[in-house]
Chain A
């Protein structure tokens, strides 16, 4: 029954939203397949610098039949690193979205439903976090976590997730506040339902619908943040996994020598995946949100009432 509510509008989508949604689906699926089957698809391992017979690839070789995307300064195959990079990106992003959702959603529910001092305190903290330049926050946290738990997928994911907690919190909280006063919730309350039951059965059911859209748009943002961390050298340990941002950092030095293939392909991979996720999120937003469909422009974000339309805002 719930599945119907989600999939029927998607099947029935028409016009521009349909195209936006489906191009997003296609691009995203492509990268998910790359990520899942990287060992099968990629010609080499992400850190291989020689063939099985022990023949070196050579450093910074231009694209050729053996290496369609060329090789980089470390003498590894760029194509293989791009494919393996999809796996790293997916791992980190799924982890990060999950963590920020696991913290942001419950806090938003409680804050919105109970209000009062708890709400005011949480809103202030989340607003402060939100106001802060997110990349700086992620850099410092990734840096500190690296000392504690190493530079793995977990550190990167946690650093990224902390940045997005306030966004989930705000969306969920504001949604809860609007739902809280609906007559069906009031009816449940009048019938003597406990807050726990009301939140779970009535409020959460309603609020959860806005999650796929925000999660997708945040995932797009998270890919960029991960790449930025990697580019600055605070991402994942280069020996552990292939990461597009790190590859671009190494490629900047190549630019001076006119070597374009080491940066172009990882960069295009980032652009394509982020575009795909953004289209998917926007498409879902248009299709699933009948209110937005009819009056999409109601949701302009003005600084005075930023809480009104976080969905529109995060997707930019």
Chain B
């Protein structure tokens, strides 16, 4: 935005970036609206057709405004989204915000745990592969990254269930907690790990943790495959930097050069790149939830789709669209804050 001689302030950058995010939100919302309206029939008859009489259907259609002109419905939809009202599901009359609040917590717990697993897997392997480029270690690591990424999360989940639940009997294969725990657990945040700690219920904590391990590891491994590659490439890049050469020339030990100069600098860009995997993580979460019977937002989406509840689907998809734009905005701002070169 600014001339070549002075850098843009963070504030100007943030405002420009925000201005760019708004049309994106608008395009995504329009896309969602169009998608859901090309569906045959109106949402009411799609979800409830056959269960109600034609008169009752007409009444519900009228009450929900589906007999209004499309353009009016469109603006109403945009207006509702602005006030964070995503509508109310047709089949069970839940506000979509309620679905997001309740089931979103399960998804959040799963994705955060998976994310941690992916970092634990991805960063060390990526660092080692990059450090020992083109050696057998590197080749094995890269191949592991490719194969693990090539494995669908539900296939890994299937294997994990067979091996760790069925054969070894170490861990439960589905659900968020055993019935006893879900019954006894006093929920405040809906994040079961935190809830069980808050109520000092350590038996419940162990139970919840045991249920979390397989789904989180499965999803985390797949995302970790991506990180191996990202980290490796960044290490290769930093190792070629002039300052590495300079550090070597100053006579620093190779160990010192690699740890203090290369790895540290290699990880800074990775932190922001990692944020880009959010979309992958969300898609993966839907599959993981389905595999492990995890009562998250993805499971709900699939359930509402199967019930042809277009209002619920539209609401959930809208939420995801906003989330994606928000996260990418956040990442860009963090990036600009860490690295002034981004701002130009």
Contact = CB atoms under 8 A, between A and B. Distances in A.
A227 B284 CA distance: 12
A133 interface: yes
Interface residues of A, number: 59
A303 B275 contact: yes
B243 interface: no
A89 interface: no
B161 A132 contact: no
Contacts of A256: 161, 165-166, 173
Contact of B236 (A135, A140, A232, A296): A296
B287 A255 contact: no
A252 B158 contact: yes
Contacts of B279: 131-134
B302 A232 contact: yes
Nearest to A262: B158
Given A128-B27, A144-B35, A248-B158, A228 B324 contact: no
B212 to A, nearest CB: 18
Nearest to B344: A304
A258 interface: yes
B146 A279 contact: yes
B183 interface: no
Interface string B125-168: 00000000010000100000011011110110111011001110
A131 B324 contact: yes
Contacts of B155: 248, 263, 267, 270-271
B178 interface: no
Interface in B263-319: 269, 272-273, 275-276, 279-280, 282-284, 286-287, 290-291, 301-302, 305-306, 313, 317
A278 B146 contact: yes
Given A232-B290, A297-B236, A303-B275, A252 B154 contact: yes
Contacts of A270: 150-152, 155
B39 A300 contact: no
B10 interface: no
Contacts, number: 177
Contacts of A306: 276
A260 B283 CA distance: 25
Interface string A29-61: 000000000000000000000000000000000
A119 interface: no
A2 interface: no
Contacts of A154: none
The CB with the most chain B CB atoms within 10 A, among A140, A251, A279, is that of A140
Interface in A255-307: 255-256, 258, 260, 263-264, 267, 270-272, 274-275, 278-279, 282, 296-304, 306
Contact of A300 (B173, B237, B317, B336): B237
A139 interface: yes
A135 B283 contact: yes
B44 interface: no
B197 interface: no
A316 interface: yes
Contacts of A249: 154
Nearest to A277: B150
The CB with the most chain B CB atoms within 10 A, among A139, A227, A298, A303, is that of A303
Contacts of B28: 128, 131-132
Contacts of A252: 154, 157-158, 161, 291
Contacts of A131: 24, 28, 279, 324-325, 328
Nearest to B343: A304
A148 interface: yes
Interface string A139-158: 11101100110000000000
A16 to B, nearest CB: 6
Nearest to B134: A16
B269 A302 contact: yes
Nearest to A147: B40
Interface in A222-251: 224, 227-228, 231-234, 245, 248-249, 251
A252 B279 CA distance: 25
B222 to A, nearest CB: 10
9 contacts: A16-B139, A135-B283, A135-B284, A136-B286, A256-B161, A256-B173, A296-B233, A300-B230, A304-B339
